[in-house]
């Protein structure tokens, strides 16, 4: 079969894999290849057991793979063949040198840019899909302009806004697709080509364009605003616990104000995920670079409140359980950073687990999708930790349960059975406010929600 276009994506991760699968699914006339330096990851994409869990992903990968969607480690070949290249490599926080702990580590994209330059034999459109610091496109253009052949690269910014767990829905029905470009005739033509791809399934009025720096910045600002909203509601959970106000009632009351809206107001043990923290710290770093210290401090506080929330959760457990956790068995219900994903990157559960181990508690961790990642995250920690798929088995004989992830299945657990199997007094710390607290109290549990009065039998 001859394809209308050859699309390549460099980076077969949480973004590259699902995004390209959606393009292949919606555009059978394009050939889409996803490449990665990690051969294990590529082998998993080519297997029945995909490397990431995302509801709906299996179906679209299986219906396109081998037809117009291909996963490969042949990066050079992919670059040569492609007319459009999406760059979806990781952009973690730098762990060394200047800006360590704040700035984005750009070694992966720079290697990618240089490889594109080295292997290209024809002009191409380069699409920044990863989340990059503002003005990365400029650096990318500089590297790609070093070509000695008569070829040309147009760099576009097309940040991804999908959230894990709802990634497929977000890709199929995006609130918006943002494309940033320069206004040169060549860039405008490249932008039109990218618009044409998305137009295969996204309504035209949901595809918006902007200048390239606004596009890069919008991605960081969107994540900063989202995280800020959760930090804001979480900051008031601390206030509620002191004042006997109830955060659920407060969230409902403010969420009905149409100017505020009711989304992203669920209090939690803290927000996690691979991006919020790194993107805000990157924003803070950029602000300081531009001499905007007040702006930097403002956004840094969003991260500080999140650290405070996780710390507070453990201190509340300690104080409720008579100020000692040593030798006590604690079941962590969930380990993923949110429901419907196996991803544990920056999951609050990692922090909580480490702190509980420091207190010499014994941990029994259960999660329907994230146990393998949990084992990697806690590898080498000096303490007693078991990983158990069955939540009944995991909570058997425990002193306390701490809810880390809002998996729907936890709502329908038989808590009477669980209570019977636990050491008394039995405690539940609901880090997601997802359980029926009154019912748990009636069963006999001492219940500690977030941002509302605790229900105790003593
Ligand atoms: P990831 O770590 O899951 O995937 C990145 C992949 O890139 C890895 O498999 C890695 O091996 C590969 N890679 C790195 N350097 C390479 C190279 N030189 N050549 C080929 N492959 C290379 O990361 P992710 O979660 O997919 O995130 C990718 C980018 O998308 C980040 O910038 C992130 O901020 C952004 N983003 C992520 C999400 C999300 O939900 N995870 C959502 C929106 C945006
Ligand atoms: C987030 C953004 O929502 C995406 O738009 C963005 O593309 C992505 O980051 C990214 O750049 O990586 P994601 O981290 O996958 O997506 O998931 P979210 O739904 O945003 O949840 C993030 C964290 O906040 C989770 O730990 C979640 O449990 C927590 N959260 C979310 C709350 O504690 N309360 C809420 O009300 C909502």
Is any atom of ligand 2 closer than 6 Å to the C-beta of 309? no
Evaluate if residue 1 carries a pLDDT over 90. Answer: no
Helices then strands, each counted (H, E), the chain: 17, 14
Spatial contact of 365 and 387, defined as CB atoms under 8 Å apart = yes
Q: Which atom of ligand 2 is nearest to the CA of 264?
A: 36
Measured by CA distance, the residue closest to atom 6 of ligand 2 is 161
Q: How far apart are the CA of 273 and the centre of ligand 2, in A?
A: 7
The structure tokens listed for 378 are 């806690």
- For the Cβ of 367 lying below 6 angstroms from any atom of ligand 2, the answer is no
The answer to whether 146 and 116 are in contact (CB under 8 A) is no
How far does residue 10's CA lie from ligand 1's centre (Å)?
9
CB of 161 closer than 6 angstroms to any ligand 2 atom: yes
Query: Is the pLDDT reported for residue 148 higher than 90?
Result: no
* pLDDT tier for residue 160 given thresholds of 50, 70 and 90: very high
Q: CA–CA separation, 314 vs 359, rounded Å? A: 10
Per-residue pLDDT tens over the stretch 193-205: 999 999 999 999 9
Q: What is the mean pLDDT of the chain?
A: 97
Most ligand 2 atoms within 8 A of CB, residue of 237, 254, 273, 349 to mutate: 273
| 326-372 tens-digit pLDDT | 999 999 999 999 999 999 999 999 999 999 999 999 999 999 999 99
Write down the residue that tokens 């943002």 correspond to.
178
**177 vs 134: which has the higher pLDDT:** 177
Mean pLDDT of 369-397: 97
Which string of DSSP letters, residue by residue, matches 140-190?
Answer: HHHHHTT--SS--EEEEE------TTSHHHHHHS-S-EEEEE--SHHHHHH
The tokens of 229 are what?
Answer: 């909203």
**Sheet of 329-333, strands arranged across:** 385-387, 362-366, 329-333, 400-403, 427-430, 446-448
Instruction: Please enumerate in sequence order all residues whose Cβ is within 8 A of that of 423, keeping only pairs 6 or more positions apart, or say none.
Output: 328, 329, 397, 398, 399
Q: pLDDT digits over 399-412, tens only?
A: 999 999 999 999 99
The DSSP bridge partners found for residue 69 are 32, 65
- What's the CA-to-centroid distance between 312 and ligand 1, angstroms? 32
Known catalytic residues are: 275
**With 0-12 CB in 10 A as exposed, 13-18 as middle and 19+ as buried, what is 19?**
buried
Ligand 1 centroid to residue 366 C-alpha, Å: 27
pLDDT tens digits for 223-246?
A: 999 999 999 999 999 999 999 999
Pocket of ligand 1 (CB under 6 A): 10-16, 35-38, 41, 75, 88-91, 108, 111-112, 130-131, 160, 162, 164, 274-275
Strands 69-72 and 84-87: unpaired
Which pLDDT tens digit goes with each residue over 278-304? Answer: 999 999 999 999 999 999 999 999 999
**What is the rounded distance in angstroms from the CA atom of residue 252 to the CA atom of residue 259?**
13
Ligand (nearest to CA of 273): 2
Residue 150 — pLDDT band, cuts 50, 70, 90? confident
Q: Comparing 387 with 109, which gets the higher pLDDT?
A: 387
Q: For position 149, what pLDDT does the model report?
A: 81
Compute the average pLDDT of residues 84-112: 93
> What is the atom index within ligand 2 of the atom nearest the CA of 164?
15
Using CA atoms, how far apart are residues 60 and 68, in angstroms rounded to an integer?
12
Q: Which ligand is nearest to the CA of 16?
A: 1
* Res 16 pLDDT > 90: yes
Neighbouring-strand partners of residue 128? 87, 157
Lowest mean pLDDT among 55-59, 134-138, 157-161, 448-452: 134-138
| Closest C-alpha residue for ligand 1 atom 28 | 90
pLDDT of residue 147: 84
Q: Is 41 in the pocket of ligand 2 (CB under 6 A)?
A: no
């Amino acid at each position: 079969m001859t394809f209308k276009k050859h699309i390549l994506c460099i980076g077969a991760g949480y973004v590259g894999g699902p995004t390209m699968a959606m393009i292949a699914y919606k555009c059978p006339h394009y050939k889409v290849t996803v490449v990665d330096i990690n051969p294990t990851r590529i082998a998993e994409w080519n297997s029945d057991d995909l490397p990431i869990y995302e509801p709906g992903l299996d179906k679209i990968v299986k219906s396109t793979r081998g037809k117009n969607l291909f996963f490969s480690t042949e990066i050079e070949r992919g670059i040569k063949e492609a007319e459009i290249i999406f760059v979806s490599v990781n952009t973690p926080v730098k762990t060394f040198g200047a800006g360590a702990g704040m700035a984005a580590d750009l070694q992966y994209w720079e290697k990618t840019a240089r490889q594109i330059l080295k292997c290209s034999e024809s002009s191409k459109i380069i699409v920044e899909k990863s989340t990059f610091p503002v003005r990365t496109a400029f650096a990318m253009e500089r590297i790609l302009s070093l070509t000695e052949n008569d070829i040309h690269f147009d760099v576009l910014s097309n940040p991804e806004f999908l959230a894990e767990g709802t990634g497929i829905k977000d890709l199929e029905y995006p609130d918006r697709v943002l494309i940033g470009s320069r206004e040169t005739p060549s860039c405008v033509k490249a932008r039109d080509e990218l618009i044409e791809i998305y137009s295969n399934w996204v309504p035209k009025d949901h595809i918006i364009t902007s200048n390239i720096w606004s596009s890069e910045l919008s991605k960081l600002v969107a994540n900063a605003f989202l995280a800020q909203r959760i930090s804001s509601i979480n900051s008031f959970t601390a206030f509620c616990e002191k004042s006997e106000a109830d955060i659920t009632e407060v969230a409902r009351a403010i969420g009905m104000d149409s100017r505020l809206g009711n989304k992203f107001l669920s209090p939690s043990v803290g927000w996690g995920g691979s991006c919020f923290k790194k993107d805000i710290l990157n924003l803070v770093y950029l602000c300081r670079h531009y001499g905007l210290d007040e702006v930097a401090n403002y956004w840094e506080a969003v991260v500080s409140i999140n650290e405070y929330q996780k710390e507070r959760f453990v201190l509340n457990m300690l104080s409720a359980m008579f100020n000692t956790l040593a030798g006590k068995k604690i079941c962590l219900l969930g380990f993923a950073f949110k429901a419907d994903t196996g991803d544990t990157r920056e999951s609050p559960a990692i922090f909580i687990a480490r702190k509980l181990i420091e207190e010499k508690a014994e941990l029994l961790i259960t999660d329907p999708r994230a146990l393998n990642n949990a084992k990697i995250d806690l590898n080498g920690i000096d303490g007693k930790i078991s990983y158990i798929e069955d939540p009944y088995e995991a909570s058997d004989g425990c002193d306390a349960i701490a809810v880390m992830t809002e998996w729907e299945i936890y709502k329908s657990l038989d808590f009477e059975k669980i209570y019977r199997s636990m050491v008394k007094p039995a405690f539940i710390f609901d880090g997601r406010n997802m359980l029926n607290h009154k019912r748990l109290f009636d069963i006999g549990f001492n219940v500690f929600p977030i941002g509302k009065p605790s229900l105790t039998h003593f």
